Amino acid sequence: MLEVIGTIFIIVIGCLSHFLYDWTHHNKLVGYFTAVNESTWEHLKLVIAPTFLWLIVEYHFYYANPNLFLARFISLVVMLLIIPLIFYSYTRLTKKPILFIDISSFIVAIIIGQVVFSILIKLNINNLFLTHIGLIGLLIIFLIYITHTYVPRIDFLHKDPITNKYGIEGHLDDK
């Protein structure tokens, strides 16, 4: 039941965070955690922020479970792989993005990630090394996630297809 609530939470907060940067009048702090342009990378942030927020909730329920950080790390990686895999696969065929498919892939990625989490959290792994791998993996994702908006890589994942710019510079200003 907790995973179902988590799935709904991540989907709803992720959808809302797509607009939050504009709603806050381009608040720089908000830009670290929400999409600031239409690049694939910025859309991956729609999964990352709510998942980390949900991890805070999960911790209160699973704090004694040694699989928590490994399960959350692997499930987040799964979500982060599924979205671009679907996006770049179908756009290779259609030659253009289709909003319905983009939203559907976001939801499917979260559902699959939550299923993976649900399976892994129930395993009796109890390995301190793997716990540390999960924790370090989450920390690395978090650090990359908050830095790439303001110091983006110059690659296809970070390039805004509308402005052809990267990171915060790629934001389409309506002024």
Tens of pLDDT along 68-125?
999 999 999 999 999 999 999 999 999 999 999 999 999 999 999 999 999 999 987 8
- Three-class DSSP category at 159: strand
Q: Is the pLDDT of residue 172 over 90?
A: no
Other residues' Cβ atoms within 10 Å of the Cβ of residue 33: 20
- Two tokens at 92? 């290779």
pLDDT, position 162 = 87
**pLDDT at 170 exceeding the cut of 80:** no
What pLDDT is recorded for position 1?
Answer: 87
Beta strands in the chain (DSSP E): none
20 token code pair: 């939050």
Our separate counts of H helices and E strands in the chain read 6, 0
pLDDT tens across 42-80, in order? 999 999 999 999 999 999 999 889 899 999 999 999 999
Let me know: does 146 contact 32? Beta carbons within 8 Å.
yes
CA dist 38 and 57 (Å) reads 29
CA distance 2 to 6: 6
The model's pTM is 0.90
Token pair belonging to 16: 């809302």
Domain range list for the chain? 2-170
The mean pLDDT value for 2-7 works out to 93
8 A C-beta contact, residue 167 and residue 150:
yes
In contact, 103 and 48? CB cutoff 8 Å:
no
For residue 169, the model assigns a pLDDT of: 79
Yes or no: say if 139 and 9 are a contact pair by the CB < 8 Å rule.
no
Measuring CA to CA, which residue among 3, 1, 12, 2 is closest to residue 107? Answer: 12
Confirm if 51 and 72 have CB atoms less than 8 A apart: yes
Question: Sorting pLDDT into bands at 50, 70 and 90, what band is 173?
Answer: low
Query: Does the pLDDT at position 14 exceed 60?
Result: yes
